[in-house]
Structures are given as structure tokens and as C-alpha cells.
Chain A
């Protein structure tokens, strides 16, 4: 019994311990890491991956995967830029873009739930389709020339009470999604589908509907991340968001969520996002080459999953 509780504590806090350890190591090697300016910088850097990873957590909890998030980000970014160039109000544009993200996600969800297709295959296909549509729409060139709206600039570059607005967005979204996952019946259904889809269905849970909603959330998060990126760059890039799905999946996995579904927590994903962010930020501070950074990130993923195997 005692060993049982110990393992459960270990499994809950393993990623948190890793995070603290990482912060310690980076700080010792370069104390500049803990300076407020750098921490704010860090928060802004992780907000895009954070948003996508939070949405991805729901998807992975059901035992699914969403590879299309990077392309969804690019397509919504391009459409939003196009709308603003055409004179649509920037705030309205953000709402429309997020709605489009929801629809793109719902398309994934419909194929997966109603078409009974594997999430990997469906989102692999839509990843290509959405990217292709982005390239068609932008004709392969960046869209610029919408940069004079103060409100839109604020969304990616501004500060609120000294905290970068993207970070504020990320934290608000985290709280909302955390509440949905742990306090609302929607969250219970999400876990139930991942735990045993057949039992969930037979218990009267509308599995198809929940899945469509979950992929919609993932699409919305990608679109929201896309708006932050568009605002920060002041342009929509047709190649934006490539391989973002990998960073998001990595964060979810490092955070202890099982790719088989049914087990995991969104708070763990937050820690995973922080770990990946600090690795990037810290290695930049230490002047480690970007090539090494890739190797290190990969190694961290392997270790995280290996520890996960060991404890289960």
C-alpha cells in the first residue's frame, strides 16, 4: 500500500521535479535565466506551443492525435491576414479566425467519429490539405500590410500588467480548459472515451459528438496560436507552423499523458510546455547551437517516456 502511494506521488510529480531540476541547472550555468525580463520572454515564447498543446491534450486523452494543427495555424493565419488587408475589423477577424479553426478541427472530428477512420490518417491528410490551401491562398508568398491596428498588435506584442499578452491568453485558456477537463461532465466524457470507448458508448455517452468537439477545440487552439504568431510577425507566412504538432505532442507526452489515451492531466502538459520552453530558452542563453538543441529535445522526450514506462 505504502509503495503504491509513493508511486502515485512519483508519477504525479515526476515531471514537476524534472522541471525544477532543469530550472536549477540552467540558473547555475547562467543566472541571467531568472531575470524577470528573460522570464517574461520565456512566457511569450511558450505561449504558442502552450495553446496548441492544451488542445492536443484533449485529443490525446481520447487516444487520438492531431497532426493538422500546424497547417490549421497557417491557414487561419493567412485567411485572417487576408481579411484584415480587405479591411475587416481586427478584433472581429480574430473571432472569425478562431471559428474557422473550430470548423477545420470539426472536419477532422467528423471523419474520425463518423467515418471511423484512424485519427493519425485523417489528420495526416488534412495536414497536407490545409497546408495546400494555405499555399494556394497566399500564392506561396507572405501576406503583409495589415499592421497598423493597435489592438491586433497588442495581441502578440503587448503587455498586460507587465505580462506579455500572449502569456495572459495562454494562462486564461489553460484555466478554462483545466476547468472543462476536471470540473465539467465534458472532461469526464473525454477521459471515458480514452479509457474505454465501447463502455463510454454503451453508457449513453454521445462519443461522436464529444470527439468532434474535441477536435474543434484543437483547431481553435491552433487558430488562436496562429493569431499570436501573425501579430508578432506582422505578417502571415505560408510555411508558418510547420512541425508545431511535434512540439505540442512532445509537451503532452513529457507531461505524462499516455498516447494510448485515458490517462494524463492538462497541468502535466503545462509542465511539459515549460520544460521544452526552458530547454530552448536556456540553451539559447548558454549559446548552444540550434543543432544541438534538437538532439537534446529528442533525448528529453525519450527519457520522459522511458520514466513513464518504468512507473506503470
Chain B
């Protein structure tokens, strides 16, 4: 199936989201769609799959003009869209999920269980995956859930599958598996649209790339003919100096220590320390226990034994409020669910941890509050007309800046960041890196969990690797390489 989208325009009210996009998808190719947040990638794909109507332009499939009224029609034509937020019913089994809304029934309305099982197994065999069909989908890993989505698409005889950030929540092994499956799909003539912010992956798996910027398709090129620098330039419209801004670390005294922290079945005997001005990177596979350790430190989860020491003194942290009082801050990996109140204004969100500082006898000092919020918005370069705008309307990068603003305003001693740049475009990423450098220059200690290996290598002064709930290795910046980290992360050093 060959799709040609020509000169697509789309506006929401006065907001012109797409202003002339050209996009061609050849049969059997993996086509990367890249661009900063807000460049219009999702809107373009929503138009292709019938969720939005185009204002102008044409879409042809194998030469025939199409107008899909909704996603059902697009699906019937063989176009499936696997969104970032997976469509999974966690309480239902894998099999029920595969056939949801499309259950096979006999003429009495009774489900044809055996037939569905056979069909499911066929698809799983084709993709060479083995997930028990009677497992609850909610108990499957994110990677497995994605495989369920892909299988669903294949059972609809999809010839085009659009994947939005499919690897953002996957462990490295699962990414490998996904790529194997993708190759198998293209070999059988299925074409894939691959939306991602991860450059390495695009160079590994894609055949062609279309870069979008501000609602326009900037360029389409063959991956083998382009380069990382070239793509970034097309994306931001200017050249980015380094991906990771340089910095000369100045270390102060050890400000934060964890001694022998354990939680049964989750993590064991975790000991480490951070100095003022240091960025400590925490690497490891998804599910190794990295986030769980930080949640325990921050008082979100309990721990069985161990000690948390700040400035040489043992401290008790039983709740995030205790941690905040001790000037520990935590930027969680899930900013939409845990970091922000999406319906509320930028001001309200920034104020959340700072209410005490800006009230006397519980009464909020609105003047001080206002100037504080304005300063933070400016300092973090949050792009918005007003701090009264709700954060839900901001792009991912700007949302993340608001999360950072609310904590940085508290001037924490230790800043824990869990996947600080996940799902954020290159420009905003760099701004966040620069901010991290600025903060450490002023003596803040940063602990950064990241699944993005280049980011870990580019930003950390020291790297801890977690494997199955234990620290399996520690590497200084100079000696660290992707291979060494992966060896520790997979427990390879034990053999």
C-alpha cells in the first residue's frame, strides 16, 4: 500500500497546526517521522487515520483519493495507529484484549473461544512471541502490551502501522524484540510510520525520514544519505552545538548518603553518596528497581532497613512532605500522572511545593507569589503567554520545565530526576541539560535516572548501574562506555 499525503493543511480555530505537509509512505518501508513537540506529527497522523478532517490537501492510497470519516474506516482500509498510551484493558486477559470489540461469535452470540485462540496463536507465531493468552493484560510488561497492540493491528490485516514513541517505556531487550518484529513486518510488505525522539533508533531501524517543523514538512531523506547533525538542523532550524553542553564539575562536600537501604524483594543493600555539584547517573534495565529505590528515599514507598544521611546526619523520611522539608526534590518519570495537575494553571502547579514559603499564618501572600512564579517561568524559559494557562495545554518539554520550576523554586540540596527528558524534543532537552549544569554549578547535587544511555554518558559525572535490585557496578565518567554499562546492567559481570 502506497500512501501519498499532499499539501495537508489543518487549523484548530486560529491555531494553524499544519501548513502544507507532504508525506509519502512506500510499501514495506519504515518511515521515521521526527520533529519537536508541537511540530504537528500527531495531528498529521490523526488526519491520516480519520480522527481529524483536513482543511486542505489530498490523501491518496494507491492512487485513489480517500476521505476517512473516523478511525474505523481507516482501520478497515488497513491503517492502524498504535498510540503512546496503549489501549489495554488491564483486568482482561491477553486473548480478550486481542479480540476486544471484534469477538468471534456463533449465530447464538456465544463466543468462539477455540477459534479465537487459534487465530491469536497464529499471529503470535508469526511474530515469534509467546505471551500466555490467559494472562491478565495488566500483568504483562509494557513491551508485551505493545506486542498485543501490534498483533491486534495484524489481525485486522493492517498494511500500514503507525507507532507513536513505541520504545519510550521499553527496556533494551524489549526494544530489540520490537525491532525484530518490525523487520519481519516490513519483509512481508507492511509499512511502518515510526514516530520517535530517539535518534539512535531511527538510524538503526528506519529506511527514510521525514522531518517536520512548525507544521511544515522540512525534508524527506534516505537514512543512509543523512546524518544526525543534518536531522537536528532540519528539526530546530539551526545548528545545535553539542548535544550535551560541556561543564567542569566543582565538587563540594558529600551532601547525601544512602547506607544499606533494603526492601524485601525489590532492592537490597543499596549504598551510595552524592557530593554537592555532582551529577550521579543511575542506569539499569527497566524493572531493575531504580525508580523503586528513589521512591523509597523520597518517602513514597516504605523500606525495611537502611539509613538516609544528609550532611552527615541520619534523617527519617516517612512521607514526601518530610523529604521536601529536608530539601530533597523528586521529578518523577510520569509527569502527567505524578508531576502535574494538568487542568490547573502553571502558577498553581509551581506553587504546590512552595505554599508554605509564600504564606504567613496560612494566608497566601499573593504579591510575592506572583513575582515568584513569574521569575520561575522566565528562568526556566517556559513558553507561554500567561502563567494562568493550564499546563495541560503546554507541550511536553514545557510541562517538564514546569515540574522543574516547582522544585527548583524550593532550592533543594538534592534533586532526584527520573527520566528527565523522556518524550521531550531536542531543543527542550538541551535546555534541561543546561539547567542541570547551572544547578550543579551552584552546588546542588543531582541524581538522574535515565534509560537513555547516551544521556547517562553525556551528563553524569559518575554512574551507578542497578541490576535486579542491587548495585552491580560503578563507573566514573572517563571510563564509562555503553558496553560497560550494558554488561553491568545485564549482570554480565557476574559470569
Contact = CB atoms under 8 A, between A and B. Distances in A.
Interface of A: 1, 3, 183-186, 188-189, 191-192, 195-196, 198-206, 262-263
Given A203-B353, A262-B343, 9 more contacts: A185-B359, A185-B363, A191-B348, A202-B300, A202-B320, A202-B332, A203-B320, A204-B323, A206-B319
Contacts of A186: 362
Contact of B364 (A185, A192, A195): A185
Interface stretch (B197-205, B225-233, B333-341, B466-474): B333-341
A300 B91 CA distance: 37
A184 B363 contact: yes
Interface string B318-352: 01110111000010100001111111100010011
A187 to B, nearest CB: 8
A263 B343 contact: yes
B362 A185 contact: yes
Contacts of B359: 184-185
Contacts of B237: none
A204 B14 contact: no
6 contacts: A3-B13, A184-B363, A185-B355, A203-B324, A206-B319, A206-B321
A191 B364 contact: no
Contact of B338 (A183, A202, A205): A202
B362 A184 contact: yes
Contact of A196 (B13, B323, B340, B353): B340
Given A1-B13, A205-B321, A185 B356 contact: yes
B363 A196 contact: no
Nearest to A194: B341
A53 B320 CA distance: 32
B340 A199 contact: yes
Given A183-B363, A184-B363, A191-B344, A204 B339 contact: no
A191 B339 CA distance: 15
A234 to B, nearest CB: 39
Contacts of A263: 343
Contacts, number: 79
Q: Of residues A1, A188, A204, A263, which shows the largest number of chain B Cβ atoms within 10 Å of its Cβ?
A: A204
Contact of B351 (A183, A188, A195): A188
B406 interface: yes
A201 B322 CA distance: 11
B363 A200 contact: no
B363 A202 contact: no
A223 B377 CA distance: 45
Interface in B358-405: 358-359, 362-364
A192 B362 CA distance: 16
Q: Of residues A196, A200, A205, which shows the largest number of chain B Cβ atoms within 10 Å of its Cβ?
A: A196
B338 A199 contact: yes
Q: Of residues B298, B341, B363, which shows the largest number of chain A Cβ atoms within 10 Å of its Cβ?
A: B341
Interface of A is mostly: helix
A200 B13 CA distance: 33
Contacts of A184: 359, 362-364
Contacts of A198: 337-338
B342 A183 contact: no
A183 B367 CA distance: 12
A184 B356 CA distance: 10
A203 B325 CA distance: 11
Interface of B: 13-14, 298, 300, 319-321, 323-325, 330, 332, 337-344, 348, 351-353, 355-356, 358-359, 362-364, 406
Given A185-B356, A188-B348, A202 B330 contact: yes
Nearest to A188: B355
Given A202-B320, A203-B406, A196 B341 contact: yes
A3 B12 CA distance: 13
Contacts of A204: 320-321, 323-325, 352-353
B344 A195 contact: yes
B371 to A, nearest CB: 17
Contacts of A1: 13-14
Nearest to A209: B321
B151 to A, nearest CB: 32
List of 9 A-B pairs having minimum Cβ-Cβ separation, nearest first? A204-B324, A203-B352, A195-B341, A185-B355, A196-B341, A203-B353, A185-B359, A206-B321, A184-B362
Contacts of B353: 203-205
Contacts of B14: 1
A202 B332 CA distance: 9
A202 B362 contact: no
A199 B364 contact: no
Nearest to A182: B364
Nearest to B358: A185
Given A191-B348, A204-B321, A204-B324, A199 B341 contact: yes
A263 B342 CA distance: 12
B316 to A, nearest CB: 15
Contacts of B325: 204
A202 B358 CA distance: 19
Contacts of A200: 341, 352
Contact of A183 (B13, B324, B356, B364): B364
B341 A202 contact: no
Nearest to A186: B362
A185 B366 CA distance: 11
A198 B359 CA distance: 23
Contacts of A199: 337-341, 352
A120 to B, nearest CB: 21
A30 to B, nearest CB: 43
B486 to A, nearest CB: 31
A199 B343 CA distance: 12
